Chains A and B, each alone.
Chain A
Amino acid sequence: MSLSIRWKLTVWYGGVLAVVLAGFSAAVFLVMRYQGLARIDEGLNEELGDVLYEIKRAGDSTSLLQWLERRFSQHEGFDFQITAATGERFFASARLSSTVLPLPSTQTHSPWYETLPVASQGRWRTVNVQVEGPGGLLTVQVARSLTAFDHEMSELLVTFCLTGPLTLLVAISGGYFLARRALRPVQHMTRTANQISADQLHKRIKVDNPGDELGALGQTLNHMIERLERSFTEIRLFTADASHELRTPLTAIRTEAEVALGKLPDKEHQQILGSILEECDRLAHLTDQLLTLSREDAGVSKQVWEPVDLAALVRGVVETMRLLAETKGLRIGLKEQGPVSIPGDAARLRQVFYNVIDNAIKYTPEGGSIEVRVEPRSQAAYVVVKDTGIGIPPEHLGRVFDRFYRVDKARSRDQGGTGLGLTIARSIVVAHGGRMELESNPGQGTTCTVILPRNPPFQGNSN
């Protein structure tokens, strides 16, 4: 699965924040607990001091008990239990009258702090010490119920558990928002870059802050587009120059030959000049095709996308070529099912079908037939040109779209072919976002399928 950068950023940010928040909450919780216990222990220690003072001062057990009863029976927050070495309880404060505090796990002469569970009264924090009393060894225990403390702690925990995710949620939405904001220039750049095609290379990406990372990216892209624009301009200039350079001598030859042709009465010379003119025409045609092709390849042809009724367009081409086919003794049929609208450039599309049908006529022997079908499908329009011609041997099938490639060189040159017709047809089809397919059985015929998308190519973000 691939996430967009803004989601990745948000996820990372959220993850890190969750860990930090959890760590922070745990630390706060532990410190609070430690400090709370320390405070309680301090209080316990103070009270213990008081009790030990009374024990030390008392002359006998009875007076000690009296003093203890008076001072410690009712005491704010603290409870007391003094157990004799025999295990018999010597003294207990009022609240412990019905409950017995368990004895500590360790009996020492220095204060020992321990948290002890008391049946049905939660946990108690205690400080325990063994002292020599008037009537023998006594275990003194000062205790404080942890119920309030535990309650406080659990409230803290609940608070953390509630506010943590909430904070995280707010922070993540904030983070997402920030990431989106920070990446908005990227979206903008993507959109602009998508709109820039060969004939819109003058466009540039808007750079808001040239100083930051995205600004630098934008500038880099702009430089790249600039270089592209320059090379496209060079190609345009080259084709213009090339056409001038190639056509000017042809013009000179043509005109000179034609002028001479008008003056010469000599049949033989007329023949020679006629042949020169024919070669001129052939070269001119070749020049045209080469320039068309280089323009198509460079993508510098003007793209005029208009709704074109493909069925009507093909019908027009078939009607134009019909006489040619019939003169050659071929039947040419057209099957269509009403208008098929596709976006395209009608003049260039006509060129495609002229070339394809012209090829079919050239390579189908007398008595054969050519069937042209226009089939609208959901995504694309199919134009199938099926002939009963000589076919293309399998080893040539992959190469017939190559420029200047001819299956039978001598033969097609005799028929006026330049070997560029199919190449040009395919270039135009590709420029329309479509493709061409060729199937052939030598001796039985060839089927050429032109597939053109019904949606405008190169718009939005598809390319």
Chain B
Amino acid sequence: MPRVLVIEDERKVLRSLERGLQAEGYEVVTAATGDEGFKQATSQTFDCLVLDLMLPGRDGLQILADLRKRSQTLPVIILTARDTIEDRVIGLDAGADDYLVKPFAFAELLARLRVLLRRDRHERETVLWARDLEVDLVDRLASRGGTPISLSQREFDILAYLMKHKNTIVTRDMLGKDIWKEPNYSLTNVIDTYMSLLRRKVERPGQGPLIHTIRGVGYCLRDEPCP
């Protein structure tokens, strides 16, 4: 069971993160101040740290810097309400592995955590499967039940992304950031359009849908029954 330390001063956010992560099967330790969090981060072992940047006492960047000074390689995701590019760069420069801008989708936090915890597994897989859907990442080919599906560049990128995050929710923000390289709300409509196009090409009538829309959150490509 992966152990996650969450340092966040906003009680409600902290509580819901704790509950949500526990529900996903994480062991969660929480800290509401920077000093307390730092103490825990240095006295126990964790698989990942979720760190808010604006904290009373020792702030997030300071904790990050102090941890990295002690050559702690613990993966760190920072949460920040500051969204300017400089703020993000500062966080990543200070040694964070990933960042999320508040308000983030909880599903995205889960996805990013999974990526950090099992970083190298997907990299080795070159052919991904979901039921009878096959996606070859090297040859950039997709087929369903052996029948090739003709996809545009972008459609393939989206499908591959969904397959890499199979059975977990992918938010529109994640798609925007990772596929279009642009965190931009204007893309919401564009993403939805691509999704409906992709569905038309991938789904087979009578077989039950692979790509699901999670209202208010994003999309999910699922080959298991709903959790």
Contact = CB atoms under 8 A, between A and B. Distances in A.
Interface of A: 240, 243-244, 247-259, 261-263, 270-271, 273-278, 280-281, 284-285, 288-289, 291, 295, 301-302, 320-321, 323-324, 327, 347, 350-351, 354-355, 358, 416, 421
Nearest to A265: B226
29 contacts: A243-B81, A243-B83, A244-B102, A247-B103, A248-B102, A250-B103, A251-B104, A261-B214, A261-B217, A274-B217, A277-B216, A285-B185, A288-B185, A289-B185, A302-B84, A320-B190, A324-B190, A327-B193, A327-B196, A327-B197, A347-B182, A351-B184, A351-B186, A354-B184, A354-B186, A354-B187, A358-B189, A416-B188, A416-B189
4 tightest Cβ-Cβ pairs between the two chains A and B: A277-B216, A274-B215, A250-B103, A259-B20
Nearest to A355: B186
Interface in B13-71: 13, 16-17, 19-20, 23, 54
A255 B216 contact: no
Interface size band for B: 35 or more
Contact of B216 (A248, A278, A327, A351): A278
B77 to A, nearest CB: 14
Contacts of B215: 270-271, 274-275, 277-278
Given A243-B82, A302-B84, 9 more contacts: A247-B101, A251-B103, A251-B104, A261-B217, A274-B214, A277-B215, A323-B190, A327-B196, A355-B186
A259 B17 CA distance: 8
A254 B104 contact: yes
A248 B103 CA distance: 7
B162 to A, nearest CB: 17
Nearest to B9: A248
A302 B105 contact: no
B211 to A, nearest CB: 17
Contacts of A327: 193, 196-197
A280 B216 contact: yes
Nearest to B194: A323
Nearest to A358: B186
A284 B216 contact: no
Contacts of B214: 261, 274
Contacts of B86: 302
Contacts of B23: 259, 262-263
B102 A251 contact: yes
Of residues A248, A253, A274, A347, which shows the largest number of chain B Cβ atoms within 10 Å of its Cβ? A248
B131 interface: no
A343 B125 CA distance: 43
Contacts of A277: 215-217
B20 A302 contact: no
B151 interface: no
A162 to B, nearest CB: 70
Interface in B149-192: 180, 182, 184-190
A248 B193 contact: no
B52 to A, nearest CB: 9
Nearest to A248: B10
B119 interface: no
A262 B227 contact: yes
Given A243-B82, A275-B216, A285-B185, A323 B193 contact: yes
Contacts of A295: 84
Interface string B2-18: 00000000101100110
A262 B84 CA distance: 31
Contacts of A321: 190
Nearest to B196: A327
Contacts of B129: none
B180 A254 contact: no
Contact of A247 (B81, B106, B186, B196): B81
A281 B189 CA distance: 13
Given A243-B82, A327-B193, A258 B102 contact: no
Nearest to A285: B185
B182 A259 contact: no
A265 to B, nearest CB: 9
B85 interface: yes
A240 B81 CA distance: 8
Of residues B10, B79, B106, B197, which shows the largest number of chain A Cβ atoms within 10 Å of its Cβ? B106
A252 B106 CA distance: 10
A259 B216 contact: no
Of residues B84, B104, B187, which shows the largest number of chain A Cβ atoms within 10 Å of its Cβ? B84
A347 B177 CA distance: 13
B107 interface: yes
A421 B184 CA distance: 12
Nearest to A262: B23
A295 B190 CA distance: 26
Contacts of A421: 186
A271 B213 CA distance: 13
A324 B13 contact: no
Contacts of B20: 255, 258-259, 262
Contact of A259 (B106, B180, B185): B106
Given A248-B10, A323-B190, A258 B184 contact: no
Interface string B82-120: 111110000000000000011111110000000000000
